Structure 1
């Protein structure tokens, strides 16, 4: 089911359809697991990220619902995060290997990839209750679907247009603030916050594509490229933290030295590129962009 909201339809019905579609897809993916357990968890978490972005868009109108359901979704995603996070670290080390600066570094990073694969496989064996969690999670998601069915938005098209524009403006303002924090303090936390706000922004571009399909598609693509960069930065930070927390997985000092050197180099490159791209993505004035969204919405319902 498309993740979208059409302005010329009932907003309550469109909200329920968009939210319910993501939840239903997550249930189906966890039940069928067409590409295996790890990919099912990855797809499930993407569904929940889109859903939480949708809830933030309307949070000013239904704050209690959004607070409660965001907590529900955050907790259920966290319960299935360990194995997927371990897989993401493997992908991060492979990314470093693909971008190695010389053959010696590539060889060392290949050893790191193998060590992380061994760690992930050991975790999968040790986490004997992962299948139980996968079986129980759909019931939590069905409760979330029931909660969505109780949501109702009052008011006509003008009020709805203001609600959507307000949510859009709030996200862009938070993104601008996150960019400022990244420029002042290049920490893992500041860049992760920027990534979350960019993910919200991209979700809205997909959700509201019917307002202006060509422009939204173009915005979606450039925002996706920013999120990819920020994702690499986040994963590098997590990998660096793992080296400190679990040094037993990296017993070869030369391999570890190459890994840390590659992480530092790639972080610097990616952070610089991400900030340049973020300035492009969030170049428009937040209020002017929100006003444009409101006008486009009203134009389609007048």
Structure 2
């Protein structure tokens, strides 16, 4: 079993199956003695995002359950956001260094990495003492969440159960692209990234409708998601440096790194916009109509 719907099976049972599988995998990872605690946290956050993507796909059909469950998985994942954010900042610094060439002295990055490692150490010290206990407790909470899944009820059946959620997410992606073109603020770019991420989850869930076509589209979405993700990480990285600017004796460090960040972000954004324009070119009602035809063809019983 995996993260995709089977059109020839009852949609409500499929939604429960996928959610249950993600929870089971998360419990297994949290109790796996071969995984270190930070890998467990990383995997748990990924599982939560997948479940939230699934819930968003059936949002209109699942009613009030969406708000309850989406909030629960969102809040549980956010408990570990500080840990993950500290890791991403270091990863972003190392990635940015590859694009520095001779524009920024390597000693500047040494100082930045030292600051980020110190910050990561503080975060880890704050969480380390209770992290093991928290992960054990989380396993028990996931078992309760798994029991709740059995009570999920979808008010619609077949493609109608997912059409509203798919259309709304795709439509928001279209709107956010226009906002990016008109506004271009960090917040707008981040929102577009989130909508694109959810659209990617929905394509993964629906890939059985026509694998070659949907997988090709998903590859493009994944590429766009990486571009937007790298752009967001750089925005947070830059904000963090300005927050701690007083800890650098040489003001040129901030100036040089800021210029490099902005240059790299410009490159990423210039690649993201044309790709996103292609991905979101189709009108929401048209892409839904096309997917519905795929669904009806694939879900027909064989004669």
Which residue pairs with 1:132 in the alignment? 133
Q: Deviations over 1:17-48 (max 9, x none)?
A: 11111122222222226442222222211111
Shift of 1:98: 1.2
Which residue pairs with 2:278 in the alignment? 280
Which residue pairs with 2:44 in the alignment? 44
Runs of 5+ in structure 1 lacking a partner? none
Q: Deviations over 1:206-257 (max 9, x none)?
A: 1111111111111111101101111111111211222233335545433332
User: How far apart, in 1, do the equivalents of 2:245 and 2:142 lie?
Assistant: 37
Shift of 1:283: 1.9
For 1:108-187, list aligned pairs within 5 A: 108-127=108-127, 128-154=129-155, 159-187=157-185
Which residue pairs with 1:80 in the alignment? 80
Quickly say closer, same or farther: Cα 1:252–1:129, change in 2 above 3 A: farther
User: How far apart, in 2, do the equivalents of 1:85 and 1:284 lie?
Assistant: 35
Q: 2:193 aligns with which of 177, 192, 195?
A: 195
User: How far apart, in 2, do the equivalents of 1:245 and 1:134 lie?
Assistant: 31
User: How far apart, in 2, do the equivalents of 1:135 and 1:247 lie?
Assistant: 38
Query: What do you get for the CA RMSD once the two structures are aligned?
Result: 1.9
Runs of 5+ in structure 2 lacking a partner? none
Shift of 1:56: 0.8
Whether contact under 8 Å (2:12, 2:153) holds in the other structure is: yes
Could you say what secondary structure the match of 1:152 adopts?
coil
Whether contact under 8 Å (1:33, 1:39) holds in the other structure is: no
Shift of 1:154: 4.7
Whether contact under 8 Å (1:182, 1:191) holds in the other structure is: yes
User: How far apart, in 2, do the equivalents of 1:233 and 1:41 lie?
Assistant: 23
Runs of 4+ in 1 over 6 A off after TM superposition: none
> TM-score under structure 1 normalisation?
0.92
For 1:65-104, list aligned pairs within 5 A: 65-102=65-102, 104=104
Number of residues of Structure 1 aligned to a counterpart in Structure 2: 299
User: How far apart, in 1, do the equivalents of 2:37 and 2:175 lie?
Assistant: 37
> TM-score under structure 2 normalisation?
0.92
